[in-house]
Chain A
Amino acid sequence: MNVPDTPPARNGFAIRADRVSRHYRMGDALIRAVDQISLEVRPGEFLALLGASGSGKSTLLNLMAGLDRPSGGAIFAQGRDLATMTSEELATHRNQTIGIVFQSFQLLPRMTLEENVELPLRLAEIPRPERPARVKEALDRVGLGARAKHRPTELSGGEQQRAAIARALVNRPMILLADEPTGNLDSKTGDEIMNLIAGIHQPEIGEGRTIVMVTHERALAERYADRIVTLSDGGISREERLR
């Protein structure tokens, strides 16, 4: 799975959802978590998916990540339809095209930070000699270069989320997907994390990566995102361009 950095989108969109749906069946009831949503995300755009709990924003993010498959419609990332990809291709997509940051960090507690950050490189079959420099670069970037040998349990919540961001970026993906990245943090630490994510997004500071962030905090979305898409009952209820 050793592939070069993801190429830019050929169709002009980093991500495009075309009447994408994700329905679940619970007993006799059909849950329409995501229902016929069409959405485009331009390369280098910072999109905030806003909505109440159960609105379908995390489900939509999972569809973009290739962690879940749509029940209908199509969803494209970098020009390729995720719905038609094999599980192997989806794995490559998750490893190479996107980086994911979760609300609960999802670091493996029995590994040190550098081992956690090295995981995507292992999966990408990056040659072993190249890995230490890549890991150090990623950890230095989030300000955790000195904590490389520490385990997640020895770090604060903010540090853990920074480590998770380093892990998401170590394979140099063009798209960063963040699911409530500040949800488990206090407001000050949350601001630090958002500044870090904004730095990754803004071309004058970072590399201009596309960012899709799920949040339920409007203030946070308004402060950092270029565009806010509000979801309600599995559909888009409102769309606001801020920048």
Chain B
Amino acid sequence: MKLGDLTELAARNLRESMLRNSLTTLGIAVGVASLVALLSLGVGLQQLVNRSVARAGLFDTVSVRPRQNTPFGQPGGGRRNALDASGIVPPRVLDDAARKEIAALPNVIEVNPEVRFTAEARHEPNTQLVMVSGMAPSSQSSGTLDGLIGSFFSGPDAEELIVQGDMAKRLLNEGQAPASLLGQQITLRFAARQALPAPSEQAASEAPNQAVGPDEEAMGFSIVPSEKVFRVVGVTPASDSGGGGVGISNAGVYLPLAVAEKLQVVQGSDLRDVSREGAAVGMRYAALNVRASSPAAVAQLETSIAHMGFTAFSLIDVTRNLRTFFAIFDLFLGIFGSLALAVASLGIVNTLVMAILERRREIGVLKALGAANRDVRQLFFVEAGVMGLMGGIFGVALGWAIGRVIHFATTVYLKRQGLNSPNIWSVPWWLVLGAIGFAVAVSLVSGIYPASRAARLDPVEALRYE
């Protein structure tokens, strides 16, 4: 029998026992709904974490440091196995030449120095100790400033600040909204380098390796307090609203990178480099942030940089572990969600076995008229498949609705707690298609036994059945 005829007959059979088949289909729908609701929650949480990580610029950024200055205090921090090239390539100074060399690597979009320092931020009458970070112009379009209130820096040399939401709250009086800081002035007080007077030729020849910066080459520097006034042009979302981190250098206050470089701020690496032997002449960097063209290029980039004699670090491993975690998490959610579907599949078996008993004579008639065992088997399979398809479609709709309710309830609860509610629920298209396909597959598997039993019916016995 052709599929069209099979489907027509199956639909007719299903309509005949409307209540029972509807209840069976509803059972499948509930099973699929639980699966969809749980997996959509898992997917939503994964996307929330991914968004946070992406916002922090961790997917496509590699932090490069001289090998002595690893983030973990040992050579080859970060992805140690892949990136620790010590013993193969000697360590190098992170200077302009290295910066150009890194910038010339494939899949590198830009290379920016990392300028981070601690400063005192003053907004009368409040004063806060704050981590200040230079921000490259590319951050404006990288999506790292999602939810920014106000605007980005008007230019690379603008003496302007973007303040992190939590810091804005601390710099304002209680009850003031972070946005009220826009347009106001903040004074940053920080430790600056001041070049020492030029030493005598002899002194210079005696101590040739004291220089650490372009302005202080062969001269050294002293540390002096310095202040500068900036205008606030932007406020990033507070951390409790799903915002927070901006760029790999998470900080409380951001200023244009070019401005930060000109401040001649003392950074931790300066003090280490003063005592380092064999310092090269020219600008040296404590760290460089290298942006890759895509997260997929990060691993190769890290390896290339490590083989140049530097320590390369990205959170690619962290995100990889995160993906593994969520894969397992989703698997468990899927298993729990599938339990309901497994119970529903027993309903299909029961319904179809009942249908065989009820339609025993009909099966006999069909066989007497020329239906092969295969036709009878396929008829029951199609009936099971149709119930699975309908249950899958209704189940996805029901799961979507349950997810919306959970999301709504979560939002209301978090708002009552004074917190913003991130979106923790997502139903991607693959979940929709997968859930419907899974429901059909489970239904077909459930139909194997009843269909085989129906196909094996002896037509003579079936025709005698009253």
What is A's interface to B at a CB cutoff of 8 Å? 1, 62, 65, 67-68, 87-88, 91-92, 94-96, 100, 102, 106, 108, 110-111, 119-120, 122-125, 128, 167, 171
Contacts and interface: CB of A to CB of B under 8 A. Distances in A.
Contacts of A94: 367-370
Q: Which 9 A-B pairs have the closest CB atoms?
A: A95-B370, A91-B372, A122-B5, A123-B370, A94-B370, A67-B459, A120-B369, A106-B365, A88-B372
B291 interface: no
Interface string B365-386: 1111111111100000000000
B4 A128 contact: yes
Given A91-B373, A96-B370, 5 more contacts: A67-B367, A67-B459, A94-B367, A100-B368, A123-B371
B2 interface: yes
A16 B242 CA distance: 86
A96 B371 CA distance: 11
A102 B366 CA distance: 13
Given A68-B460, A110-B12, A120 B365 contact: no
Contacts of A91: 367, 370-373, 375
A7 B228 CA distance: 106
Contacts of A87: 372-373
B370 A124 contact: yes
B365 A125 contact: no
A102 B463 contact: yes
Interface of B: 1-2, 4-5, 9, 12, 16, 361-362, 364-375, 459-460, 463
Contacts of A110: 12, 16
Contacts of B368: 65, 67, 94, 100, 102, 106
Contact of B1 (A108, A123, A171): A123
B459 A119 contact: no
A121 to B, nearest CB: 9
Secondary structure of the B contact surface, majority rule: helix
B148 to A, nearest CB: 63
Contacts of A95: 369-371
Contacts of B369: 94-95, 100, 119-120, 123, 167
Of the candidates A91, A110, A119, the one having the most CB atoms from chain B within 10 angstroms of its own CB is: A91
Main secondary structure of the interface of A (DSSP, over half): helix
26 contacts: A62-B460, A65-B368, A67-B368, A67-B460, A68-B460, A87-B373, A88-B372, A91-B367, A91-B370, A91-B371, A91-B372, A92-B372, A94-B369, A95-B371, A96-B370, A100-B368, A100-B369, A102-B368, A106-B368, A108-B365, A110-B12, A110-B16, A122-B5, A123-B1, A123-B369, A125-B1
A60 to B, nearest CB: 12
A94 B463 CA distance: 14
A68 B463 CA distance: 12
Nearest to B459: A67
Nearest to A111: B12
Nearest to B2: A125
A171 B393 CA distance: 39
A102 to B, nearest CB: 7
- Of the candidates B4, B12, B371, the one having the most CB atoms from chain A within 10 angstroms of its own CB is B371
Contacts of B361: 106
Contacts of B459: 67
Contacts of B16: 110
B13 to A, nearest CB: 9
B12 A120 contact: no
A171 B368 CA distance: 13
A243 B340 CA distance: 70
Contacts of A124: 370
Nearest to A92: B370
Contacts of A67: 367-368, 459-460, 463
A88 B367 CA distance: 11
B360 to A, nearest CB: 12
A119 B372 contact: no
A152 to B, nearest CB: 12
Given A95-B369, A96-B370, A100-B368, A122 B1 contact: yes
B300 to A, nearest CB: 58
A95 B366 CA distance: 10
Nearest to A62: B460
Contacts of B463: 67, 102, 106
Nearest to B8: A122
Contacts of B373: 87-88, 91
A106 B360 CA distance: 12
Contacts of A65: 368
A213 to B, nearest CB: 16
A88 B362 CA distance: 19
Contacts of B367: 67, 91, 94
A124 B1 CA distance: 7
Contacts of A100: 368-369
Contacts of B371: 91, 95, 123
Nearest to B5: A122
A1 B5 CA distance: 13
A142 B458 CA distance: 30
Contact of A108 (B4, B362, B370): B362
Nearest to B466: A104
Q: Which residue, B1, B12, B369, B374, has most C-beta atoms of chain A within 10 A?
A: B369
A108 B365 CA distance: 8
Nearest to A119: B369
Contacts of B365: 106, 108
Given A106-B368, A128-B4, A123 B375 contact: yes
Contacts of B362: 108
Contacts of A68: 460
A28 B366 CA distance: 33
A120 B372 CA distance: 12
A67 B9 CA distance: 23
B369 to A, nearest CB: 5
Contacts of B364: 106
Nearest to A109: B362
Contacts of A171: 370
Contacts of A92: 370, 372
